[in-house]
Structure 1
């Protein structure tokens, strides 16, 4: 895992290379610092894993954390969420005021949004609709980012504790074996003969996944799977599935390259998301 110092250095490099992303990268830098402070002050995660059921869950395609089926004390994550809002107030005051107005409205239910985000049956647009109906996309994106991040330190500790066990289970699903979330970005490691790994933004876990397969619908028909790159940015590619019309960004790592912080890489490649959307993928 990339260290905080290296991640912050990468952010500064990306800001110089692409000033358009400065605000969002500054927000990500603040999030990484706040996340580490949270982790340093944690004793135990609010989430618990029944170690006797790990093998059974992995074989059955069930993530370790059953967020939909259990009740958890979300007091600490909610406090963290409020701390994250202060980042926006510092970096983007105008947007922050709009966000504060949204979360203070009667329609905003943070816990309901959290739970909806773990239900793969609910479309992303429906989950976002729980936050607001007529607010700007920028506000919704920040709320989505902060809501997801609010559980990250707690789930990250579970991923770090049980990651090695999960890696040995030969998990083959396209969603995260720790928390069940779908990936947004992944990496291909040339040093491991081109093995592909998917990354979970919710808990920070990476897991091996088939190179020629859609993580969202399971399609492995090569003729309906493709990818595109942007000239001059061959380090990145966008893998697309023409069966379900979903996409995932991928970072290609040459031999002897340092492990990237995929949270940062995701922000630095938002233009690839826009291209994918324009091409009809989601």
Structure 2
């Protein structure tokens, strides 16, 4: 896992000076990234056999309904839920996760139900959010950030040196099946486009002229808008399904490792605002 805190700290001055982040929001994400990094270090030490959960002979390599968690893994996830809830309410006092935390204590199976529903991307997730007095987006934020260290640890253990996924052409993550949060075009790699998973942070190559959401390849209905103050940023849109994905173009003059797509996704809310104003939605 990239230590996101370090990349966020490098952008602190510009984020605060340009009013892109408040002091509270910056502090929240800095603390969140630290929690996740600590969790990942612990999980990496206890996951000795990823084959219990991961099947590298298929895509996606993790199937929602075959997930199996040990007591140690559940204990770590439980700790993450409680710590993230405390962190959010520390900086955003209007939020409450009391019902969710109480229900998780009463029914440990809910931990598996949440991640299964998240990966399955069906109406079950919305029902779980409603039953726990949360908006769907609130539960998505909680679930993605609580499970992220586990899925990164599983990915690192299962893939190790595997960086390519032959014959895989889908817009969902080949490892966990979740959605990408951002894309990058890398000039030093023949201008190839790569998608970045919002959950396990896996990256995979994806066709340049193709909608990530619906697979549309008609150039008459595909395009992009560049951010004029800094043209390395843009969002690619599809007029067939009216979705968009944010993209960063990394030139040959820049080292690819300088860009942390998890952090880039956070600090490019100006792209989200423009896309939403034009009538596009995220996948």
How far apart, CA to CA, are the structure 2 residues paired with 1:47 and 1:95? Answer: 41
How far apart, CA to CA, are the structure 2 residues paired with 1:35 and 1:95? Answer: 23
How far apart, CA to CA, are the structure 2 residues paired with 1:235 and 1:164? Answer: 29
How far apart, CA to CA, are the structure 1 residues paired with 2:49 and 2:83? Answer: 21
Query: Match for residue 196 of structure 1?
Result: 193
Aligned-partner SS, 1:216: coil
Query: Match for residue 151 of structure 1?
Result: 147
Asked if 1:41 corresponds to 2:42, the answer is yes
How far apart, CA to CA, are the structure 2 residues paired with 1:189 and 1:40? Answer: 29
Offset of residue 244 of structure 1: 1.6
Asked if 1:132 corresponds to 2:130, the answer is yes
Aligned-partner SS, 1:228: strand
Offset of residue 47 of structure 1: 7.8
TM score, norm. by length of structure 1:
0.82
Structure 1: segments with no counterpart, 5+ residues: none
Query: Match for residue 13 of structure 2?
Result: 13
Offset of residue 214 of structure 1: 1.1
TM score, norm. by length of structure 2:
0.82
Q: Is the 8 A contact 2:54 2:61 kept in 1?
A: no
RMSD: 3.0
Q: Is the 8 A contact 1:159 1:205 kept in 2?
A: yes
Q: Is the 8 A contact 1:171 1:177 kept in 2?
A: yes
Q: Is the 8 A contact 1:117 1:127 kept in 2?
A: yes
Aligned-partner SS, 2:162: helix
Aligned-partner SS, 1:255: coil
Change (3 A) 1:271 1:105: farther
Offset of residue 51 of structure 1: 10
Change (3 A) 1:215 1:281: same
How far apart, CA to CA, are the structure 1 residues paired with 2:67 and 2:133? Answer: 31
Q: Is the 8 A contact 2:53 2:68 kept in 1?
A: no
How far apart, CA to CA, are the structure 1 residues paired with 2:242 and 2:90? Answer: 37
Q: Is the 8 A contact 2:181 2:197 kept in 1?
A: yes
How far apart, CA to CA, are the structure 2 residues paired with 1:80 and 1:277? Answer: 31
Structure 2: segments with no counterpart, 5+ residues: none
Which is further off, 7-16 or 182-191? 7-16
Which is further off, 7-16 or 254-263? 7-16
Q: Deviations over 1:52-97 (max 9, x none)?
A: 952x41xxxx2111123334343421221111112213322x134x
How far apart, CA to CA, are the structure 2 residues paired with 1:104 and 1:11? Answer: 37
